[in-house]
Structure 1
Amino acid sequence: MISLSISNNVAEVVLDAPDKLNSLDEQALADLAQAYDDAAAAASRGEVRALLLRGEGRAFCAGRDISNVSPESDDAAAYLGGLVQPLLRKMSSFPAPTFAAAQGACLGVGLGLLLATDVVYVADNAKFGSPFAKLGATLDSGGHWYFTERLGMHRTLDLIYTAELMTGAEAVARGMFSRALPAEQLLETTRGIVANVAVGATGAFNASKDLVAHIRDQRLGLWEAMEEENAEQARLCKTEDYAEGFKAFQEKRAPQFKG
Structure 2
Amino acid sequence: MPSGTTPPEPAASPVVSLTVEAGAAVLTLDRPARRNALDLDAAAELADALSDVEARTGSGEVRALVLTGAGGAFCAGRDISGVDPAAEDAGAVLEEVLNPLVQRLTDLPVPTLAAVEGPALGVGLGLALACDLVLAGEDAKLGSPFARLGAVLDSGGHLLLTERIGRARALELIYTARLLSGTEAAAWGLITRAVAPGTALPEAQQLAGALAAGPTAAFTASKRLLARIRDEALPLPEVLSLEAQAQREASSGADYREGFAAFQAKRVPVFTGS
Between the aligned partners of 1:68 and 1:116, the Cα distance in structure 2 is 28
5+ residue gaps, structure 1: none
Between the aligned partners of 1:157 and 1:184, the Cα distance in structure 2 is 30
Regions of 4+ moved over 4 Å: none
Give TM-score, length-normalised by structure 2.
0.91
Aligned partners of 1:127 and 1:168 also within 8 Å: yes
Aligned with residue 52 of structure 2, among 27, 38, 42: 38
Instruction: Indicate whether 1:132 and 2:150 are aligned.
Output: no
Residue 29 to residue 164, structure 1, CA distance change in 2 (3 Å): same
Aligned with residue 180 of structure 2, among 163, 166, 173: 166
The offset of 1:43, in angstroms, is 1.6
Aligned partners of 2:117 and 2:198 also within 8 Å: no
Instruction: Indicate whether 1:119 and 2:133 are aligned.
Output: yes
Q: How many residues align?
A: 259
2:81 maps to 67
Please, which moves more after superposition, 215-224 or 74-83? 215-224
Instruction: Return the letter of the residue paired with 1:50.
Output: A
Aligned partners of 2:113 and 2:132 also within 8 Å: yes
Aligned partners of 1:130 and 1:138 also within 8 Å: no
1:83 maps to 97
1:216 maps to 230
Please, which moves more after superposition, 215-224 or 97-106? 215-224
Instruction: Indicate whether 1:226 and 2:243 are aligned.
Output: no
Instruction: Indicate whether 1:145 and 2:159 are aligned.
Output: yes
Aligned with residue 27 of structure 1, among 25, 41, 46: 41
Between the aligned partners of 1:3 and 1:160, the Cα distance in structure 2 is 32
Post-superposition Cα deviations, 1:3-40, rounded to whole Å, max 9, x if no partner, equal: 11122111110001111100001111111111111011
1:181 maps to 195
Aligned with residue 169 of structure 2, among 155, 172, 175: 155
2:11 maps to none
Greater Cα radius of gyration, structure 1 or 2: 2
Post-superposition Cα deviations, 1:175-218, rounded to whole Å, max 9, x if no partner, equal: 22211111132222111111111111110010011111111111
- Three-state SS of the structure 2 residue aligned to 1:37 is helix
2:122 maps to 108
Aligned partners of 1:245 and 1:255 also within 8 Å: yes
Between the aligned partners of 2:78 and 2:164, the Cα distance in structure 1 is 24
Aligned with residue 57 of structure 1, among 61, 64, 71: 71
Between the aligned partners of 2:165 and 2:48, the Cα distance in structure 1 is 32
Between the aligned partners of 1:229 and 1:157, the Cα distance in structure 2 is 33
5+ residue gaps, structure 2: 1-14
The offset of 1:61, in angstroms, is 0.4
Post-superposition Cα deviations, 1:202-235, rounded to whole Å, max 9, x if no partner, equal: 1001001111111111122222211111110000
Aligned with residue 236 of structure 1, among 250, 257, 267: 250
Please, which moves more after superposition, 95-104 or 168-177? 168-177
Instruction: Return the letter of the residue paired with 1:141.
Output: S
Aligned partners of 2:75 and 2:121 also within 8 Å: yes
Give TM-score, length-normalised by structure 1.
0.96
Instruction: Return the letter of the residue paired with 1:73.
Output: A
2:10 maps to none
**Correspondences of 1:188-207 after superposition (within 5 Å):** 188-207=202-221
- Kindly, what percent of the aligned residue pairs are identical? 49
- Three-state SS of the structure 2 residue aligned to 1:141 is coil
- Three-state SS of the structure 1 residue aligned to 2:269 is coil
